[in-house]
Amino acid sequence: MTKKSKHPTLSEVAKKAGVGTTTVSRVINGGERVDPKTLARVRRVIANLGYHPNEAARVLKGARTRTIGFVVPSIADPFFSSCAEAAQAIARANDSLLIVITTQNDPQAELEGVNVLTRRRADGFIIAPADSKSKTLRDLLQSLSMPIVAMDRPIADSTIPSVVADNFAGARHATEHLIQHGYKRIVCLTGEASLYTIHERIRGYRNAMRSSGLDCMLDTSTLDYPSAHRAVKRLMAAPEPPDAIFTLKNSATIHTFEALQELNILVPDQVALLGYDDFSLAGTVRPSITVVQQPIKEFGRVAAELLFERLLRPHGSDQDVSPPSPHQVQLKTCLIRRRSCGCSSSMG
């Protein structure tokens, strides 16, 4: 059995198969004008060596594939579906196709998705990493000879450009708004606290609470409706229940709002509610829900623009010298004041 090298090259495939690199390139790109026996032999060598076509094959062919990847946790999430729509518009304007790969925040599924894009010779891709601190992911991405842009969650300890929101400032402003209403027992329902975005929002919440001399109250149990229902029931039955709840993602806001209604707890009379991330029903339910709104479509648009900026840069240019755009683009958030926090209807 042929021993696989760690990073087999096009030349190694050609040498093992007894053909030229041009023939290997033709096989990689569909096998046109290649003898069937030679085609089968080269494909066997490719499989045995574990060779993945990369930038070398693309340069040999002399053309882009005009496809870009979009690697995100879930397209069912309104945040990422809106980002995808915006990125797709930029891709279409650049005569390219957007390929969406979902990971469900599973690091292994994420690595497999990146490898699929590499094998299919995508021109580059946008990624919202499952674990922004993963060394395995960082090393893989930095080894690829294609432009990559991180979205929503930056890749730690890397020079990979990213587009993120100012999660810290957004959460701090939201918490300060609740404090200005006179609330003192403000519980923060965090959900997936390991995510970069949630971690930054927790920092913002803590900063505001501590600056006002208030005790932080964190609860990480709200991952779905049943857990949100249990958390709300437990918190509101405590001797000193919270007078305000701050949820750190839209799904947690929805689950918490439903739980409060199910338990016949009046919002904002008995407890105020403020959520991070707007959603379509937030302004139509009763009471309407105050939220921190992110410029969702800006994420997809700016990330795609950064990607094509790097992709269309003249071949051979040095990306580490005088980059045309910043390493990280930080987008501002906006507090949308509605009824659930105690604001009057005239405030929006």
| pLDDT tens per residue across span 143-192 | 998 999 999 999 999 999 999 999 999 999 999 999 999 999 999 999 87
Please tell me whether residue 34 adopts helix, strand or coil conformation: coil
Q: What is the pLDDT of residues 225-269, one digit of tens each?
A: 899 999 999 999 999 999 999 999 988 999 999 999 999 999 999
Radius of gyration of the CA atoms of the chain, in A:
25
Domain spanning 167-295+335-347 has what CATH number? Answer: 3.40.50.2300
What is the arrangement of strands in the sheet containing 67-72, beginning at the earlier edge strand? Answer: 97-102, 67-72, 124-127, 148-151, 162-165, 328-331
Asked which of 25-29, 107-111, 198-202, 310-314 is least confident by mean pLDDT, the reply is: 25-29
> Can you give the residue ranges of every domain in the chain?
10-61, 67-160+296-331, 167-295+335-347
Question: CA 58 to CA 283: how far, in whole Å?
Answer: 49
- Cα torsion 113, 27, 62, 88: sign: negative
Report field, pTM of the whole predicted structure over 0.85? no
CATH of region 10-61, choose from 3.40.630.30, 3.40.190.10, 3.20.20.80, 1.10.260.40: 1.10.260.40
Query: What pLDDT does residue 244 have?
Result: 99
> Looking at the predicted structure, is the pLDDT value of residue 56 above 90?
no
Whether 10-61 shares its CATH topology with 167-295+335-347 is answered no
Helix axes 135-143, 107-119, angle to 10 degrees: 10
Asked which of 201-205, 214-218, 227-231 is least confident by mean pLDDT, the reply is: 227-231
Mean pLDDT (the chain) is 89
Q: Which CATH class is domain 67-160+296-331?
A: alpha beta
